[in-house]
Structure 1
């Protein structure tokens, strides 16, 4: 946009509410939601200042703001020899401050027809821009329609769930493409096997507007077992600095079905011990037990819904008690901790049985 007058004209054509975004940005930085014309000029000014500060480019644009959309994206790969493929879809609707917290693949509401149409659009974007390497084409979906949002020309945090359902090492393919190799498979060679969920574990307080909580990790025990993947570089004694992004781990679960994957993620969260800083583990615990999430009924404002907020305090208390119990066993060594976790899981299953 060249100025406020042009923005007002565009907003009047597409209708309010609208959202102002940084052209060079990502991660939700600088986004401003505008309900009517009265707030548009201030929003543009604020967005431009934040864009300049964060990305060195004050350029912003506006688009229609959807109130409760789903965030659905497609992973694509393209080589310099003209080969393009998609690695299917991901659901990334559960977010805080426009940044993803839970991702899963495939999208739980996806149909064959919708997938064909959205995948075709994603590949069209990649081809039109003569794109090469790994990338993600992101869409918003609402009321049966989908809208192009942006393309991330990089490897994303949530690529892990796509790797789990396709068996394709995206990092390896990215490096091979950069080296000039052709893709070793075509679209027919890519298929979905099972379901995967990723929880981003952040050093944040979910009861305090997700305020960052840097500090020293006093006790640490990562989960394991069938279908569980953990990507992290932290350990007991590690100090989480205040200078960087608050994400400290990516916890992933895979299963042949979505219910099995949710069950494995619940177990992994139960086994995960991080003491010394507040984390989003209790929030993920609440999400994995939420009936709306279990039914696949999510949207980008999911975390503002009352059904999540009213249970979060209880899950935080439960998680704190659980972590203290497991942390006590860690003082006796890894073997005792493993036995404690196994006995606790057995007793829980007996109670449910």
Structure 2
């Protein structure tokens, strides 16, 4: 989801102060196997996934798409990590236009769907290439649908990221992580009152401690394979030391100082489909340059050091099968590879 102030609203919390509150996705149409309920059927090549590699919510969809082998069926548009007042922009593409959609700004797809839409323009965004209209910006549902509704287009031996027997447990674990970690770092970072910040800070580290305890004796969050729950945790953890520790003042400790979480994070980062989607240059430039209310100088820090990400993690000693009965994805398409110097 968009990390700009456009997509956050103030609201009363249970502790009685004005606080950060993430706005709900406005466009929640679903692309389903037959399209019977939504009118949007799964079709190869029909939809385009627009992301920012800086955004943790969009990164969920990037990872799911890679693990499931949907690159040939669902094309990818990547925005500039720096927005302007007209929203996410396609300045990384020739002539500043998305080569498939033909638009300069993601807001144009929103306008094609609903003229004068007053909310923020967020990623990930699923866009219909036939009409140019936005289909969905529902980051919570999108990856679940990729895992369950797009199965006819999955690669051979794709993993089951949302296995039916474990869905209730995955949902429960993911909900706590979303509330206290995924969104908790934003509640801390955008806090405008001390009490509000300290509550969010406490929530973040309480949940991280619980997760660390859970992962001390098991390789993955739910079951013995990678699931949706791991994807959702990874996208926050991978940004933690580079952004959230300093920029969002979540500074009790770094992830590298928690032996369990740091090993878990390295394990996933070294797994095909995870680290090969991460662009630390985009992540740092977006957060530090766009959030001028937090960082008015827009100076992007040189650190932290990127060494250590590829060191042995030894998590395989806990057992588990990363892809279950499936296999790892192959290398990313050449056009989607992260540039040299943007990742360890």
TM-score normalized by structure 2? 0.30
Q: Which has the higher contact order (CA 8 A, sep 6+)?
A: 2
TM-score normalized by structure 1? 0.29
Q: Which has the higher strand share?
A: 1
| Structure number, greater radius of gyration | 1
